[in-house]
Structure 1
Amino acid sequence: MQASAILIVIMAVLFACGVYAMLERSLTRVLIGFLLLGNAANLLLLIVMGAPGVAPFFGSADPADMSDPLPQALTLTAIVITFAVSAFLLALIYRSWQLGQADTVEDDEADAAVRARATQAEESMDDETGIEDEDDDATSDFVGVDTAPITVLSSRDVPGVRDDAPVDEADRPRGGEDA
């Protein structure tokens, strides 16, 4: 049995609307988004389940005609998880409404301080880096990191090895690796 294209489109729309609603600052919209995501997950499991078949506990049926019990168990688990998180979000919304007569999450002093530090760090990084010359080979895309070309070490660069002593190639450190 092929999955219905209509079910796949409905599932995709539910996922998209659920994610969009969860990105809002209103707790009620977060709850609605979570419920949409839960229903989309259940629909996904329904699509994955495939054709309905005979219950697996009937011994006389051919195993090819039996339905897979795993998606059914996962759907029941998803329903229970959605119910529990929805109850928690409803309690959170109710408490928020009791305290502030609103269900929107506002920025506090810590959020404002983090935003100010991030903006200040971005501005200072822009001032420090500036515009790089295109022909400068000693810089990389990483801010404040200079790269050096890989060099081949000779025996005089390895501490404890004399120039006249033979050096085993397996023991010689490589140019780009940490020794």
Structure 2
Amino acid sequence: MAELRVRVNGADHLLDIPPQVSLLDALREHLGLTGTKKGCDQGACGACTVLADGERINACLALAVQYADREITTIEGIDHPIQEAFVRHDGFQCGYCTSGQICSAIGMLAEHKDGMPSAVTGEPSAEGEELTDEEIRERMSGNLCRCGAYHGIVEAIGEVAR
């Protein structure tokens, strides 16, 4: 067993868990935070996306012990304009992927603001440069939606980015 101190959604937790437990399982099974979803459990769908110190990660691929003393934010800890934009633009249908989509969108917007390049731009983004729909799609390509709500998702992100 490993003793793990982790800060989740602003609250400190002490967990005594096996070292091979994923961050996703620690959140869901040990902390009861079930908003983060287990989709593929292989890092391919993005349903488990959370923020670690503001950076988006796939919680299913991360060992919980790797995130000791870091700030983890799950959908339960988010209060962001993107949530209302998802509702306005019908950015979800069944809702299974929504928590991962929202966490990923918040991380992606921060990456863009910090000038991180994308496959579309190929160069660091200039401060104040507007995100195109094509770039939003590329930057969000790690998050899948079985229902096909991509149009609403892109519109919601575009609205918040502007």
- Whether TM-score is above 0.5 comes out as no
Q: TM-score range with shorter-chain normalisation?
A: under 0.3
**Which is richer in strand?**
2
Structure number, greater radius of gyration? 1
Question: When you count helix as a share of all residues, which structure comes out higher?
Answer: 1
TM-score by length of 2: 0.22
